[in-house]
Amino acid sequence: MNGPPNPSGPPNPSGQPDLGAVMSERRQLINLAYRLLGSLADAEDVVQETYARWYALSPDQREAIEAPAAWLTTVASRVCLDHLRSARVRRERYVGEWLPEPLPDRSEWLGAGSGAAPVDPVDRVTLDESVNMAFLVVLDSMTPAERVVFILHDVFRYSFPEVGEIVGRTPAACRQLATSARRRTRAAHVPAASSVRRAEIVRDFKRAWEAKDIEALVALLDPDVTATGDGGGLASAEPHPVEGGERVARFLVGLAARATGVTLLERTVNGQPGLVAEQGGTIVMVMSFDLAGDRIKHLWAVRNPEKLRPWTTG
């Protein structure tokens, strides 16, 4: 897990905090904001807003800030909290199901725009257990306050007094919010297979899907499996989750029968084995999995092209 940011260091001779030290917090802020919002695009906007507020301060105001890293983290967390509150209103207008934005493995992270140099995702978001899709989906079920407190304390290891100062609540209230958030994560947690076994199951699923083999798919799916798609009104996707092993298997086979020129590829999605669908040289879907033992418990398929920017090949 990531720890709290280190202090930005001493001011430079001009009396202002060193620009390089201040800008070096960008990676930490992106990591924090992505976990809080589940969207890299929104996380980038939050960090941009945070730095805009920093440079809107007068030189004397910036000089008076003893720990710029802590100031930046506080501002970014508060901007995220406001964003999460307003997101609940925006979600009511979102077409279909909303899923977090999936992230590729570092070797597949591409620059934005044709001809751009590849960007190492470790400079943007550190992939660990706190960004796998199952964890992000659980985070999305939390209240904004629960999510911010839980991420700051349990993931980034801030103390409750520090979290309280950031979110404007007492340490006791923050402790209660973190406890409530942990209950949600425990309720959603199921024993998972090893990483090697997970990759094998995803590979078997890919082969069964490509073969349109309903029986093989059913054997890989938990009887209570749920498949959720996110098209955002910009790409076709089921408006509601599909539930049940046989229903999901038949639904997937129906998709495969209608798909033309689509290639399934095994890829790492948010640090875990997943699949992407490529059509005409462009990634048109990213699929994540959650396993219960040796069975697939959840399928999440992101088709909204606005959420696939890091995967775009053209």
Domains within the chain, CATH numbers bracketed: 19-188 (no CATH), 195-311 (3.10.450.50)
pLDDT digits (tens, 9 = 90+) for 211-241: 999 999 999 999 999 999 999 999 999 999 9
Please say if the pLDDT value at position 313 is more than 60: no
Q: Which strand (E) or helix (H) includes residue 275?
A: strand 272-279
Please say if the pLDDT value at position 268 is more than 80: yes
All residues at 6 or more sequence positions from 211 whose CB lies less than 8 Å from its CB, including other chains: none
Extract the tokens encoding 222.
């938990």
Q: Which strand (E) or helix (H) includes residue 257?
A: helix 245-258
Q: What is the pTM of this model?
A: 0.84
Extract the tokens encoding 220.
């890989």
pLDDT digits (tens, 9 = 90+) for 120-145: 443 457 767 778 999 999 999 999 99
Q: State the Cα angle at 74 between 120 and 21, rounded to 5°.
A: 50
pLDDT at 195: 83
Closest by CA position to 79, among listed 58, 51, 50: 50
Residues 128, 1 contacting (CB under 8 angstroms): yes
- Residue 189: count other Cβ atoms within 10 Å of its Cβ: 12
Closest by CA position to 152, among listed 209, 80, 99: 80
pLDDT at 127: 66
Looking at every residue in the chain, the average pLDDT score rounds to 86
Closest by CA position to 51, among listed 79, 28, 72, 81: 72
pLDDT at 58: 93
Extract the tokens encoding 95.
């077409």
Please say if the pLDDT value at position 314 is more than 60: no
Residue 175 sits at φ, ψ, to 5 deg, of: -60, -40
Q: Length of the chain in residues, anyone?
A: 314
Q: Which of 32-36, 61-65, 117-121 has the lowest mean pLDDT?
A: 117-121
Residues 276, 311 contacting (CB under 8 angstroms): yes
What is the C-alpha R_g of the chain?
21
Which residue is associated with the tokens 């999440």? 300
Query: Residue 312: pLDDT band by 50, 70, 90 thresholds?
Result: confident
pLDDT digits (tens, 9 = 90+) for 69-82: 999 999 999 999 99
pLDDT at 45: 94
Please say if the pLDDT value at position 168 is more than 70: yes
